[in-house]
Amino acid sequence: MCADQYKVFAKYQGNHTTIQVELAVQNWYFGFLFVQIFLVVSISNTVTSIIEKVGKTPEMTPEILAQNIPKASNFFFSYLLIQAFGTSGGTLLQITGLALAALFKPFKTTARDKWKTAVSLNPMQWGTLFPIVTNLAVIMLVYSTIAPLILPWALILFCLFWVVYRYNLIFVLDPASDSGGLPFPKAINQLFTGIYVMEICCKCSVFNIFSGDIQLTGENSNWFIHDFEGRRG
C-alpha cells in the first residue's frame, strides 16, 4: 500500500519514466522500512524513558540506542524466519495472482483475451523489491556483531530469496522496462546506513564497558584516548 502511494507521489514529483518512478520509490520505501521496522522496534520497548532521556541529554542519543538495540534481537530472529519461509513461499506460489486469474476467467470469453492472459506477465517492480532486501541486509549488518546468531538465519533467508526471485525473473515476472542496473548501486549506498548504525552501536557499547556506571563525558573520553596512545608509545 505504501509503495503504491509512493509511486503516485513520484509521478506528481515530475518523474515520467518507469525507472525514474522506481528509483524514487526505492529511496522513500527504504527510509520507511528502516524507520518503521528497525528503529521503531529497536527502541519501542522503552520509548517513554528514551524520550525523557533524549530530551534531557540529546548528546547521549547514540548510547541510548546502543543500549536498546540488543533487546530487540529476539524479534528480528522471528522476523527473518517469517521473511525466509512465509514471504518466500508466498512469492513462489503467487496465490493472489492465481485467485485473480480464477476470478476473472469467466469474463474472458474471446480468443484475444485468453491469449493475452496466457502470455502476459506481471511487471517487475524494482523500487519495491530492493528496499525490502536492503532493509533485511541492514538488520543483518547491525546485529552481526551484537547478536551473531542472526547470521545463519540471514544466510538461509538470502539463499531462499535467491532461488525464489531467480525463478520468478525467468518464468513469472517481466522486466518490462530496462533499469540499466541503476537500482543496484543505490541499494549498495543504502547499505551504508546499516554500517554506520553498527559502528555507532559498537562504539557506544565499548564506551559503556570502559565507563561502567560513570557517565561518559568529554574528560573521560580524552583520558581513554590519551591512555591508549600512551600504552602504544
pLDDT, tens digit (0-9, with 9 covering 90-100), for 39-58: 877 766 555 556 666 666 66
Distance CA 63, CA 65 (A): 5
Is residue 226 one of the residues assigned to a domain? Answer: no
Region of poorest pLDDT, from 57-71, 94-108, 205-219:
205-219
Tell me what the mean pLDDT of segment 142-171 comes to: 88
Q: Give, as one character, the DSSP assignment of residue 177.
A: S
Is residue 100 one of the residues assigned to a domain? Answer: no
Is residue 30 one of the residues assigned to a domain? Answer: yes
Q: How is residue 30 written as a grid cell?
A: 527504504
Higher-scoring residue by pLDDT: 187, 223: 187
Q: How many separate domains does the chain show?
A: 1
φ/ψ of 125, rounded to 5, equals -105, 90
Residue 140 lies in domain: 2-94+121-211
Distance CA 16, CA 12 (A): 9
Distance CA 159, CA 214 (A): 45
pLDDT band at 216 (very low <50, low <70, confident <90, very high): very low
Is residue 170 one of the residues assigned to a domain? Answer: yes
The pTM of the full predicted model, rounded to 2 decimals, is 0.76
Is residue 61 one of the residues assigned to a domain? Answer: yes
pLDDT at 219: 44
pLDDT greater than 90 at residue 16:
no
Strands 173-174 and 122-123: parallel
Q: Give, as one character, the DSSP assignment of residue 212.
A: T
Q: Which residue has the cell 591512555?
A: 227
Q: Mean pLDDT across the chain, nearest whole number? A: 77
Is residue 195 one of the residues assigned to a domain? Answer: yes
Distance CA 116, CA 88 (A): 27
